[in-house]
Amino acid sequence: MTITDQDYQFFLAAIKYSSKYDFSQYSEKSLKRRLGKVLSDNRININILINKLKNSSEFVEKIVKEITVNTTELFRDPQVWQAIRYAILPKLKSNSVINIWHAGCSSGQEVYSMLILLNELEIFDKVKIYATDLNSDVLDLAKIGEYKYRFNIGYLDNFDKVIKENPYNYEEYNDVPYEKYFDIDKTNDLIRMKDFLKEKPIFKRHDLVTENNTLYVKFDLILCRNVIIYFNYNLQSKVFDLFHKNLYDDGCLILGLHETILGSHSVKYQKKGHGYYKN
Amino acid sequence: MNYNAVIIGGSAGSFQVVTKILNSLPKTFPMPVLLCLHRLKHVRSGFVEALSLKSNIPIEEPFDKDKLIPGKAFLAPANYHMYIELANRIALSTEDSVNHSRPSIDLSFITASNAYRNKLIGIILSGANKDGAFGLKKVHDNGGVTIVQDPEECEVRTMTQSALHLTKVDYVYSTDLIIKFLLKLT
């Protein structure tokens, strides 16, 4: 379904008018495409959509959940997780407390990836891990910690690359069984995270676009992966500013593999490998 | 006729063809070359290096919001969709797969055709699914030039035949003729 510029502006205005959300600084191509998908999934036209948005806050919640992108994986981009394991976390090992924030955690796969790594590095107990997302439905999924098995068979390959193999030493092989961290239930087609992992994180609903840091702590490490690609340049700057203010000195920000810090904020961070360190 | 960008889509059997095309383009090629190629999900590195071996123009997997510049090739990164924004910039997305593919050739072609309208050249090469057919139609509908690799020459014909089925394309060309066409633009 094609969305005209005028429809798009009316849609943005309707959301802003009838909710606390603001999509006006989202990346236009992606959002227009998602909007088209929402219209065809709901079999309605743009005028009906806009009217319903104005009249029902439940409908706004529903549409916001449908329009945001929630794809994620366990150990997505293994090379990044190898860097976290061998370069980024070791620097924090001597801290008495380590605060980590997964901003835009979606259904939680990368939160569990981090928890598994922390346990392997024997720093699980001194870490406080916070995970937030705009969408309360995906946060509920993150809390449940169950994922489809067959569709996500690649999770196991990623696990092997990060947990079992060592890219810096090909002779090393740690035969860590999957059951240490999750059960594979082939009958029900599920991967189930162990309780000791599920109990650890603090999950909280949070909107990066309109809210400040509502976790009220500062962080050693912030992961915000494949979130800012959906934001325009101005909004990206605002988010980088929020992260900068809430990182400890020498704190580290990890973005998606093809995301980068542009413009005035680029000088406030120093890139080393896969991490952006606060200057 | 002046053009502002070339976009190439391919899947199984397209690697050699793309390599041959890139190796033939001069350093001064006057527009950006957008590449949306399917690859095995877990072959995520080494692809750019392989394409770059003999290419005269630099090839990169762009970051989100990178600017498209002439004389450079931009390869859709593994596991991301690559959109083209109006301001000559790349936008990446991790939305679900389309046609079982991420990157999806259709999405790159559709967004590029919106951005470049009749100033776009769309080329579909050998491949094993129908991704790209709808995107090429959009290029055509927006007045751009459409080229499909001659199915006779393709290692796998599904992609080119799907494209030919959906759109009355401008040219059905062998690899050599595709190269000849592009060199005329320099």
Reported as a single tens digit per residue, the pLDDT across A16-31 is 999 999 999 999 888 9
Contact criterion met (CB < 8 Å) for B93 and A30: yes
**Which CATH code, of 3.40.50.300, 3.40.50.150, 3.10.450.50, 3.30.300.180, is assigned to A78-146+194-278?**
3.40.50.150
Residue A15 near residue A21, CB atoms below 8 Å: yes
Domain count, chain B: 1
Question: Could you give the CA distance from residue B121 to residue B145 in angstroms, rounded to a whole number?
Answer: 5
| Structure tokens belonging to residue A101 | 């924030």
Say which of B63, B85, B111 has its CB closest to residue A258. B63
| Structure tokens belonging to residue A162 | 């990060």
Residue B43: predicted pLDDT: 57
Contact criterion met (CB < 8 Å) for A258 and B45: no
Contact criterion met (CB < 8 Å) for B94 and A228: no
- Find chain A residues with C-beta within 8 A of B63's C-beta: 258-260
Catalytic residue, from B108, B131, B140, B162: name it: B131
Residue B40: predicted pLDDT: 64
**Looking at residues B105-128, what average pLDDT do you find?**
96
Length of chain A, in residues: 279
Residue A251 near residue A91, CB atoms below 8 Å: no
Whether the CA torsion A261, A223, A104, A82 is positive or negative: it is positive
State pLDDT tens for residues A106-152. Answer: 999 999 999 999 999 999 999 999 999 999 999 999 999 999 999 99
In this prediction, residue B76 has a pLDDT band, given cuts at 50, 70 and 90, of very high
Residue A97 near residue A177, CB atoms below 8 Å: no
Cis ω on the peptide bond leading into residue B103 (within 30° of 0)? yes
Q: Can B45 be counted among the known catalytic residues?
A: no
Residue A191 near residue A156, CB atoms below 8 Å: no
Catalytic residue, from B11, B101, B104, B113: name it: B11
Residue A72 CB burial class (10 angstroms; 0-12, 13-18, ≥19): buried
Residue B9: predicted pLDDT: 98
**Looking at residues B1-23, what average pLDDT do you find?**
94
In this prediction, residue A250 has a pLDDT band, given cuts at 50, 70 and 90, of very high
CA A179 to each of CA A141, B87, B184: distance values in angstroms, whole numbers, following the listed order = 20, 49, 61
Q: What are phi and psi of A55, to 5 degrees?
A: -105, -10
- Find chain B residues with C-beta within 8 A of A77's C-beta: 44, 79
* Average of per-residue pLDDT values in chain B: 94
Q: Can B38 be counted among the known catalytic residues?
A: yes
DSSP H or E segment with residue B23: helix B15-24
Per-residue buried b or exposed e for A110-141, using 16+ beta carbons within 10 Å of the residue's own CB: bbbbbbbbbbbbebbeebbbbbbbbbeebbeb
Query: Does B100 lie at the interface with A, CB-CB under 8 angstroms?
Result: no
**How, if at all, do strands A190-193 and A182-185 pair?**
antiparallel
Residue B44 has pLDDT above 80, yes or no: no
- Find chain B residues with C-beta within 8 A of A76's C-beta: 79
What percent of chain B clears pLDDT 90, i.e. is strictly above it? 86
Residue B41: predicted pLDDT: 57
Contact criterion met (CB < 8 Å) for A71 and B96: yes
Contact criterion met (CB < 8 Å) for A33 and B80: no
3-state helix, strand, coil in chain A (%, to 5): 50, 20, 35
Which residues, in sequence order, are bridge partners of residue A185? A190
Question: Could you give the CA distance from residue B40 to residue B42 in angstroms, rounded to a whole number?
Answer: 6
Question: Could you give the CA distance from residue A108 to residue A101 in angstroms, rounded to a whole number?
Answer: 12
> Dihedral through CA B20, CA B26, CA B31, CA B35, nearest 10?
20
Q: Which amino acid does the sequence have at A185?
A: D
Residue A263: predicted pLDDT: 83
Which CATH number fits the domain that encloses residue B110? 3.40.50.180
Question: Could you give the CA distance from residue A273 to residue A270 in angstroms, rounded to a whole number?
Answer: 10
Q: Residue ranges of the domains in chain A?
A: 5-67, 78-146+194-278
State pLDDT tens for residues B150-171. Answer: 999 999 999 999 999 999 999 9
**Looking at residues A181-202, what average pLDDT do you find?**
98
Alpha-carbon distance B175 to nearest alpha carbon in chain A (angstroms): 31
**Looking at residues A58-74, what average pLDDT do you find?**
94
Q: What is the CA radius of gyration of chain B?
A: 14
Say which of B45, B63, B91 has its CB closest to residue A260. B63
